[in-house]
Amino acid sequence: MATLCRPAIAVPEHVITLEETLDLARTLHAGHPQLGLALRLIENTGVRTRHLVRPIEETLTHPGFTLRNQVYEREAKLRVPEVVERALGHAELEARDIDLIIYVSCTGFMMPSMTAWLINTMGFRSDTRQVPIAQLGCAAGGAAVNRAHDFCRAYPGANVLIVACEFCSLCYQPTDLGVGSLLSNGLFGDAIAAAVMRGHGGTGVHIERNGSHLVPDTENWISFGVKDTGFHFQLDKRVPGTMEMLAPALRSLAGAHGWDVSGLGFHIVHAGGPRILDDLCHFLNMEPAQFRYSRATLTERGNIASAVVFDALARLFADGGVPEGTPGLIAGFGPGITAEISLGSWVDNQADPARRRPRAISTSDIALVHPSAPRRFPAGTTITE
């Protein structure tokens, strides 16, 4: 039995609103022949606020890929540990109880991976296994859940920590003036997420089955052009219509498990844009309310890449979860075009006493209830239980 426990989420302290995004686009691209189209597309995303790892004035500059990647590494090391601590707390485990760390990111590069730094820094065992996932983009959150499930099936009783760190704003390219690039400038946001999959015990989603589906001959529809200036996001105009091709994969996997995908009790899916959610409602014959958590993530934080599914799942937890045994689905969509899909039922178990450990109160915990306490996180950062 492998249970995905409550995720911990944090978003950076710098906020940009839809109105500010539109004003910047009008100013920076005043002579662009398709500015009107870009503005309409940005407004139609439904994104109202996004969080950025740097102030907007710095985000709009490009000091070179070397310096940008240094920012990525510095900010990841500054911000990830606190989120990991909270995720471990939600699972009622400590670092030494973790057998595998899966680190997901497509917005910066480190070698050794961030997994090695976490093991050396946060008290994880030296025999903790490491799986970095770097090239699945927005689908990687779902892929991380699936690989954690695979590991727990192969090693019963094992515990897996998943970390998703996405600083999409570090991929801003001021020279990319295509409509798809302008749209992405108003869509993507920054966030960090962490969650534990427990091999025994825990409250959350008991994962029962997982699967993957790649739509043939679509590998160039979502991609990064890797250039001297870093990662250049490339988006084909056909991407918004991909749910017509992926919805059958969701239905098929659920059917193979004996479930009707349209009748499940919760749906946690990647929200790359409102069309994805609207089309899923149409092709799966579902009510819009079924995707309310994913839509709330998109509205309040934008497309935060691999972290979306964890942010949306955290909102389900914050709502009190669902009744014991309720079946549901978690799915990430991304480059390939790829869908990574998990099926599971809600469980509300006490942690297995044999695997529980007392958790020390950290300064970050105190800072949540006492504003004068020392902080380990940059002031203004938003954290979500």
Tell me, yes or no, if 165 is annotated catalytic: no
Cis peptide before 112 (omega within 30 of 0): yes
Contact between 247 and 279 under an 8 Å Cβ cutoff? The reply is yes
Phi, psi (degrees; rounded to nearest 5) at 235: -130, 120
Contact between 298 and 275 under an 8 Å Cβ cutoff? The reply is no
DSSP state of 351: P
Q: Is 63 in a helix, a strand, or coil?
A: coil
Strands (E), 153-189: 160-167
Q: Which of 106, 138, 165, 281 is catalytic?
A: 138
Q: Is 211 in a helix, a strand, or coil?
A: strand
Kind of pairing between the strands at 327-334 and 14-17: unpaired
What does the DSSP assignment read for 316-338? HHHTT---TT-EEEEEEEETEEE
Contact between 279 and 159 under an 8 Å Cβ cutoff? The reply is no
Contact between 350 and 232 under an 8 Å Cβ cutoff? The reply is no
Contact between 195 and 8 under an 8 Å Cβ cutoff? The reply is yes
What does the DSSP assignment read for 222-260? EEEEEETTEEEEEE-TTGGGTHHHHHHHHHHHHHHTT--
Contact between 54 and 190 under an 8 Å Cβ cutoff? The reply is no
**What count of other Cβ atoms lies within 10 Å of the Cβ of residue 168?**
26
Q: How far apart are the first and last CA of the chain?
A: 24
336: left (phi over 0), alpha (psi -120 to 50) or beta: left
Cis peptide before 207 (omega within 30 of 0): no
- Residues belonging to the active site: 138
